[in-house]
Amino acid sequence: MDEAEPFTYDGGRVDPGETQNVRYTVSETYMGDPVRTPVTIVNGERPGPTGFLSAAAHGDELNGIEVVREVAHEWDLAELAGTLVCLPVLNVPAFLAQERYLPIYDRDLNRSFPGDPDSTSAKRMAHRVFRNFIAPCDFGLDFHTSTRGRTNTLHVRGDMADEPVARVAKAFASNVIISSEGPSGSLRREASRAGTPTITVEMGEAHRFQRSFIDSALESVRSVLAEFSMLESEVVQWPGWRTVIENSDEKTWIRADAGGLVDMHHERGGLVYEDEIICTIANPFKTDSITVRAPFTGLLVGVLENPLVYPGNPLCHLVHLDERTLRALERSREEPVWSAHPEQPRSG
């Protein structure tokens, strides 16, 4: 491409060198008023790829909102090559209600992509967003948090068997990548299938801004834009160590076998060794308790925040670490490392 091109969507156009803030109508309320999704489109003066940043597909997942807002409205994008489509709140009805799902028959917008203009309300909304702002892009980052009562360390999910997706995932420079296509109807799975390689970024917990996660994610967004040559002043990051979880036996949700109150012995992101006690579960009198031990050496990428459980409730999400990664992690925790390497080759 020799010259920058306009970005077009149903009802609008953003020329090179322009930025538009749009409230795009995706549905209507019971009163017939429009439901509008906020979109910021930054079209650089120089040619380049088009990427999207999205958040709050689940309305109570807030960390990603601040990541997308800061990129769109606080970064200096004067030298941007290409176009950024920034969607800070995908699920406006759920966001307004501060609920995870659409308060319209409790549907999950992130199981409704790529959408259908003649189907349910959720699929109609998903179709409007997908056709106008996702399908035209060359890559995407979709930001999420854990659900209520749990918390995640920052990590990436994407199909590492898909080379374009793997390129995005590696460029994001997280320590942990969990490889999978994703559930049917999820934004990352359906966008990747449609030719827009997309990853999910998991970080933190619902209903709050967590500055440490936001700042780390912003650094990783810079790394992705460097990978695609959209910001020449940035470099592709290397996180110091990385593990890619590709097989089901390398990860597990550990669940409670008894009801009670949980005393978690490790925090989110904690390193646990095989047979080490992760938590204990006891009744209100502390007369009967059980210990929960690690089935293998690994990293706690997700842990319980609400300490009350029924049998079967998830306690933590544990991913396996091989010997080489374990040694690298142990060294990094002796001397914390986050480095950008200009000489690091692009992952593509």
In sign, the C-alpha dihedral spanning 61, 65, 66, 71 is positive
In the chain, which residues have pLDDT < 50? 336-348
User: How far, in Å, CA of 10 to CA of 129, rounded?
Assistant: 10
Compute CA 265 distance to the chain's CA centroid, rounded to the nearest angstrom: 26
The pLDDT of residue 335: 60
**Residues 49-102 pLDDT 10s:** 999 999 999 999 999 999 999 999 999 999 999 999 999 999 999 999 999 999
User: How far, in Å, CA of 190 to CA of 57, rounded?
Assistant: 14
Judge if pTM exceeds 0.75: yes
User: How far, in Å, CA of 206 to CA of 102, rounded?
Assistant: 16
User: How far, in Å, CA of 80 to CA of 69, rounded?
Assistant: 16
Looking up tokens 């997309």, which residue turns up?
A: 198
Give the amino acid at 10: D
In sign, the C-alpha dihedral spanning 259, 265, 267, 270 is negative
**Residues 103-126 pLDDT 10s:** 988 799 999 999 999 999 999 999
CB atoms within 10 A of CB 108: 17
Looking up tokens 């990385």, which residue turns up?
A: 242
End-to-end CA distance of the chain: 19
Q: Which two tokens stand for residue 233?
A: 């002043």
User: How far, in Å, CA of 142 to CA of 199, rounded?
Assistant: 6
User: How far, in Å, CA of 94 to CA of 109, rounded?
Assistant: 9
